[in-house]
Amino acid sequence: MHFITPEQFQFVKKQAKKVLNTYTTSKDQKVIQAIQALVQEEINTKITFSDIEQQLLLQPIFDIKSKEQLEQFLANIKQYVKPFKKPTETELKKLFPKDKKLKLPKLETYDWQETSYLSWFDSGTNRKYIVYREDGVLKGVRGTYSHSSKVGICTVCNQHAKVGMLLVSKKGADLGTYTKRGNYICEDSEFCNGSLSDLDKFTNFINNLM
């Protein structure tokens, strides 16, 4: 029974940490209850439950008072996460037909239950590849990626991280012309996936590249 997406799992993780932090920093029952009510409201807004059993699975979130309880809760919830469907090497090569010597990532190293999108960097070509699913269809985009030494806000996950500029070239309206679009995104895609709790931000980022 998979009813949680990877980004919803990251969202639940953030809410669980919020509850733990409240118990750690406050003894005021009114404060604790206010945060619990807020977390409940946030979860109901983010996740659509098909039955009461699914709702009950998340109820232990309101009693997380230790790091051990947090880890146990997340381990229990993770089994209900619908993983990102692992693409095959053939599928990935078809997405980028112009790249004859496409260097693929080690797909067996990914935790697909914590992956909302697949991304990797080819240091030989300075290209960053992004692969995602839209209505079940595998899609991909690639562009040049410029590393920077600065820490900034990632356009995809909205977190402070080491970021770089991804620029994607698109054919312009006139023959032989090109336009470049891009933005700052996480250098570490695994960190980005682990921080991505709102898929709309990722979708907006992709749409702006097109």
138 and 44 both lie in a single domain: no
User: Is 201 contained in some domain?
Assistant: yes
How confident is the model over 154-193, as pLDDT tens digits?
Answer: 999 999 999 999 999 877 666 666 788 889 999 999 999 9
Whether the CA torsion 39, 44, 49, 53 is positive or negative: it is: positive
pLDDT digits (tens, 9 = 90+) for 16-65: 999 999 999 998 999 999 999 999 999 999 999 999 999 999 999 999 99
205 belongs to a structural domain: yes
Domain boundary among 29, 51, 78: 78
User: For residues 107-126, b (16+ Cβ closer than 10 Å) or e, as one string?
Assistant: eeebeebbbbbbbbbbeeee
Q: Higher confidence at residue 1 or residue 200? A: 200
- Are both 101 and 200 inside the same structural domain? yes
Alpha-carbon dihedral sign for residues 57, 58, 59, 60 = positive
The Cα 10–Cα 7 span in angstroms is 5
Residue 142 maps to a domain: yes
Q: Is residue 184 part of a domain?
A: yes
51 and 107 co-located in one domain:
no
CA distances from residue 48 to 8, 42, 44, 55 in whole angstroms, order as listed? 10, 11, 7, 9
Q: Which residues pair with 127 in a beta bridge?
A: 122, 144
The enclosing domain of 34 has a CATH number of 1.20.1280.250
Q: Which domain holds residue 40?
A: 6-78
Same domain (yes/no): 28, 99: no
**pTM of the predicted protein model:** 0.90
176 lies in a domain? yes
